[in-house]
Structure 1
Amino acid sequence: MYKAYWGMEFNPFEKGLSEKNFFQSNDFSQAMSRLEHLKAVKGIGLFTGISGIGKTYTLRCFTNSLNPNLYKVIYLTLSTVTVLEFYKSLAYGLGVEIYSKKIDLFKAIQERIISLSRDKKITPVIIIDEAQYLKTEVLNDLKLLLNFDMDSKNYAVLILCGQPLLNNILSKQIHEALKQRIVINYNYEGISKEEISEYISSRLKLAGTFSEIFNANALEAINSCCNSSTRILNSIIEKCLILGCQQNIKVIDTDIVMLAQNEINLILFKEV
């Protein structure tokens, strides 16, 4: 109902929009340029930022741009695992036989990566999301697993993606060797105040609405409430549109934004 009220053909602030319609934020552009460089040089890349800031979406856009004849993507989301479980999940993604012993898995995984790179000219791209949950033992093994030809070759791309806590974890002395192997590092800053207005306007136009629905004060309030998170931003905007429709108003102001924020906080509080 609220979509018709505001003249929108669909909700442009929900998940699932095509990559071609994605808003090109500064974070997105910066991260994508680094991923392209990592693709060329191979090795380990580190990408961090708060939840809902667009990290995983960037990775999805990046992997969708890769030629499947030249790259094999292994995306691992279950990071709260033991070392052996990690090896098994990686072996499964690489199409390697699952052995019961770590030493056999280690050998099989390395041989598979080398075979893909040397014989088939295919670069494995291993992505570990929510990497801040990786156990110390897994992080220790990562640098061993990617040690090829006495640490003289890079046959694969490893992307560690997680929250800022991951930077603190890797700064510890025990992970110094792994940290030194990171060739690309980017920390997301989040959507800026200047980008929010452009983002909202471009999303509404995409849905067929060209009028100014949010006034300047509302945009200021939205910026203060979203904490640089695109996910929170989308939730606030959608709630504002619903409330605006219910109250039969033509322009959303600060009062509507704060009401939307309060309702979202109440939902989150109940979930906790």
Structure 2
Amino acid sequence: MYKAFYGLSYDPFLKSIETKDYFKSQDFKGALSRLEFLKNINGFGLVTGEPGVGKSFLLRCFVDSLNPNLFKPVYIPISTLTVMDFYRALCNGLGIIPAYKKILMFKQIQESIYTYQHSKNITPVIIVDEAQFLTNSVLDDLRLIFNFEMDSKDYAILILSGQTPFISQISRQPHEALRQRIVVNFHLTGLTKDETKEYIKSRLKLAGCFDQIFTDSAYELLYSSTNGSIRTLNSLVRMCLISGANEKLKSIDNELVFMAQNELNIVA
């Protein structure tokens, strides 16, 4: 109902938007440029941020930008894995049938990475999302898996993406050797106040709505209620549109945003 009322051809605030339509915030552009740099040098990268600021979408954009003739992306989305589970996931991602023993899988993974790089001229890109859930055992093994020729070469790219507490986790003394391998490190902070307004307007335009739906006071409250989180902002804007359409309101002010905020139980 709200799509027809506001002249939208689709819901522009869904999570599953196409990567070509991403909003180019300063935060996002900065993170993507770091990953592009990592693509040219290989090695370890770290991306962190609070929930909802766009880490997973950033990784999706990066993967979509990779030339499949030059890169082999392996995405491991949920990191609540044992060491053996992690090894199996990595083997499967590299197209290997996992062996039954850890030491054999370790050898399989290293040989596969080496073969991709030297025989096929393809760089494996291993992406571990939700890295804050990685156990210390997996973190310890990560450094070992990607050790080649006494650390003189990097044959793959490893990107760890996690929530803010992961910064403290990986900074602890037991993980010092792993932390020192990180050559690219970016912390996403989310949308700024001005970007929040531009993001909403750009999403509406993509769906065919060029009207000024939200008042300035509404934009102010939308920003202060979401603290830069794109995920929370998407949910709140959608609820505002649903409520606005129900009330037959062509203009949405801060009062309606406040009501939508309460309905979603969002604490500013």
Shorter-chain TM band: over 0.9
Q: Distance in 1 between matches of 2:219 and 2:151?
A: 51
Identical residues among aligned pairs (%): 52
Task: State the TM-score, normalizing by the size of structure 1.
Answer: 0.95
SS in 2 for 1:126: strand
Q: Distance in 2 between matches of 1:38 and 1:79?
A: 22
SS in 2 for 1:118: helix
Residue 249 of structure 2 is aligned to residue 249 of structure 1: yes
SS in 2 for 1:11: coil
Contact 2:79–2:131, Cα closer than 8 Å, also in 1: yes
Q: What aligned pairs does 1:75-224 form with structure 2 within 5 A after superposition? A: 75-224=75-224
Deviation at 1:15?
2.5
Task: State the TM-score, normalizing by the size of structure 2.
Answer: 0.97
Please give the per-residue CA displacement for 1:119-153, whole angstroms capped at 9, x wherever unaligned.
11000000000000000010001111111001100
Structure 1 match to 2:236: 236
Q: Distance in 2 between matches of 1:180 and 1:253?
A: 49
The aligned amino acid for 1:152 is: S
Deviation at 1:16?
2.2
Please give the per-residue CA displacement for 1:97-127, whole angstroms capped at 9, x wherever unaligned.
3111111111111011011101110000000
Structure 2 match to 1:20: 20
Q: Distance in 2 between matches of 1:189 and 1:137?
A: 29
Deviation at 1:42?
0.4
Structure 1 match to 2:66: 66
Deviation at 1:84?
1.4
Contact 2:19–2:64, Cα closer than 8 Å, also in 1: no
Q: Distance in 1 between matches of 2:215 and 2:154?
A: 52
Q: Distance in 1 between matches of 2:16 and 2:163?
A: 22
How many equivalent pairs are there?
267
Please give the per-residue CA displacement for 1:183-209, whole angstroms capped at 9, x wherever unaligned.
000000101101011111111111221
Structure 2 match to 1:52: 52
Deviates more, 1:159-168 or 1:257-266: 257-266
Structure 1 match to 2:42: 42
The aligned amino acid for 1:139 is: L
Structure 2 match to 1:9: 9
Contact 2:196–2:228, Cα closer than 8 Å, also in 1: no
The aligned amino acid for 2:14 is: E
Q: Distance in 1 between matches of 2:96 and 2:247?
A: 59
Please give the per-residue CA displacement for 1:208-243, whole angstroms capped at 9, x wherever unaligned.
211211111111100111121001001110100111
Q: Distance in 2 between matches of 1:63 and 1:20?
A: 12
The aligned amino acid for 1:210 is: F
SS in 2 for 1:265: coil
Deviation at 1:78?
2.6
Q: Distance in 1 between matches of 2:187 and 2:98?
A: 35
Q: Distance in 1 between matches of 2:65 and 2:259?
A: 40
Deviates more, 1:243-252 or 1:127-136: 243-252
SS in 2 for 1:75: strand
Q: Distance in 2 between matches of 1:22 and 1:75?
A: 20
The aligned amino acid for 1:50 is: E
The aligned amino acid for 1:75 is: Y
Aligned-residue CA RMSD (Å): 1.2
SS in 1 for 2:124: strand
After TM superposition, which residue ranges in structure 1, 4 or more long, deviate above 4 angstroms? Answer: none
